[in-house]
Structure 1
């Protein structure tokens, strides 16, 4: 343990890097325009933060809309914990513990200029490096039809008619029977007609989705369980014409009773090589890391004291790097397997006959295990 602490001190801080010619990290950098929306039911929960960072990292989101944050004030340090330091933000405060919208975007990917904020909507213009611009609205619609109508009107009148429009979030409204399972049968209401009229007026279409059929559940027992698809993306038809491979995904429902939804727009990959290894504070919590350091540090060396110290640090960090990489790989593999199993069960849950008691218990257990695995992964600096 003392040797590990000495190595960290030599590197002058836990986030400093130690360069070595012996090993490196192959990084995959993705240039894309992926939009993530999620009703997180409370943004300050630790589990929400872990899952959000996982979603951003796994799906390479560059724009995030969080609904029902339940936060009256959001500070820079909060955003650093949610997403990281390279993210900018705007927010609509909650009213007490109700509502709230937070929008995050990568400043390195594009700019986002707010044009309108209200209790149900936060809207602005995205301008990308290539000069193209979109209007984007993140919505958390009221359950009250009359209040919700003001949101439709605000978006319709305040959008730039010359720009494509994308609207995403929790609409608290469904359009047809296929958007619901359980409870009373679906009936077309004036609220449904309002939403349909809004789509027609703004030339918006539902691009469909892959993944679980429903985005919200009341989490009750099998007989009383109800599912809705009330979270969705609506996009201008000219966006679909330009990006014909655009795809919407319903992701694994975790932490909240809402699924995160992801709109994939574009993807270009680029590989770069980094010759740096960084010291990870989490190594201090593993006895195996201490034994590994002792083993590598006590190897006989030659030359001056400075040269010996350099070789010992290089050799020890290289060994720690590959040990840590393998351990992280195993955790990532477990996370991917659990995520697939949970999503499969949630898709089955949304079908006609749902889950039996064994599958329900299995889903509950796997969700808890996935949460704990994400918490362990987030202790690694990536």
Structure 2
């Protein structure tokens, strides 16, 4: 688990580690990023800067890399972050996920309210994404992950929080799902990321039963499952809608 801008002294991190039931806790150099890890995983910090913490996670003999990001608010201050990501991308050939608060939007559709977005502000992170060959796996939930919380005439929403994966990650964890959870005490939505290892010995395949179409409630299940709010490319949305639909049908049939 990565926590951005904890608004708490570094000395408190061990207390929160115990409260949350984690074995490992780490605070980065300016205390803006906290990392927590379970005991069953080996977590090793390999890079620590003001805007990102990168660590290796070892589980069951496999290694992955996670980078937790908390980018600066000003455009020019984010340049060192993009350079760090480019440098690491040239030296990493194992599954790698980078996620957190990027403090910028990549497209005008990721902003609602306020001044009109200038695409020139999006070019530095877009160039970094291209240079690093990053993949956006899409998301489930609201488009916007941040709100300024002001009155209706001054309210603004933006998608500031996101996660990217590299090619190696996409091949090993073909089912990577990112969910934008509901904002509660923060002005940001938490990102809940789930992954599934494709290298499984026993995989259950979905089978559609023709008799379902004659059962009461079948169409309601399909419509409800298919209408889930998903963003991303057309092919990615189609993939996740199919996945969600067959899971809901399986649950409905079983119950």
Query: TM class, shorter-chain normalised?
Result: 0.7 to 0.9
Identify the structure with the greater helix proportion: 1
Residue among 206, 227, 244 paired with 2:136: 206
Aligned residue in 2 for 1:285: none
Aligned residue in 2 for 1:248: 178
Separation in 1 of the partners of 2:58 and 2:87?
Answer: 20
Separation in 1 of the partners of 2:181 and 2:194?
Answer: 12
The CA deviation string for residues 292-349 of structure 1, in whole angstroms up to 9 with x for no partner, is: xxxxxxxxxxxxxxxxxxxxxxxxxxxxxxxxxxxxxxxxxxxxxxxxxxxx9xx9xx
**What pairs up with 1:67-146 in 2 under 5 angstroms?**
67-74=4-11, 75-81=13-19, 83-84=20-21, 86-94=22-30, 100-108=32-40, 110-129=41-60, 131-146=61-76
Residue among 59, 67, 92 paired with 1:161: 92
- Verify the 8 A CA contact 2:94 2:168 in the aligned structure 1: no
Residue 147 of structure 1: how far off its partner (Å): 1.6
Q: Which has the larger radius of gyration?
A: 1
Separation in 2 of the partners of 1:198 and 1:206?
Answer: 13
Q: Secondary structure at the match of 2:122?
A: helix
Separation in 2 of the partners of 1:166 and 1:212?
Answer: 21
**Residue 109 (structure 2) pairs with residue 178 (structure 1):** yes
**What pairs up with 1:1-382 in 2 under 5 angstroms?**
64-74=1-11, 75-81=13-19, 83-84=20-21, 86-94=22-30, 100-108=32-40, 110-129=41-60, 131-158=61-88, 160-189=91-120, 191-266=121-196
- Verify the 8 A CA contact 2:146 2:160 in the aligned structure 1: yes
Higher RCO (Cα < 8 Å, 6 or more apart): 1
Q: Secondary structure at the match of 1:241?
A: helix
The CA deviation string for residues 136-184 of structure 1, in whole angstroms up to 9 with x for no partner, is: 1101000122221101112322454222221110000110011111111
- Verify the 8 A CA contact 1:169 1:231 in the aligned structure 2: yes
Distance of aligned partners of 1:125 and 1:136 in 2 relative to their CA distance in 1, 3 Å threshold: same
Residue 93 of structure 1: how far off its partner (Å): 5.0
Q: Secondary structure at the match of 2:72?
A: coil
Distance of aligned partners of 1:208 and 1:246 in 2 relative to their CA distance in 1, 3 Å threshold: same
Separation in 1 of the partners of 2:56 and 2:86?
Answer: 14
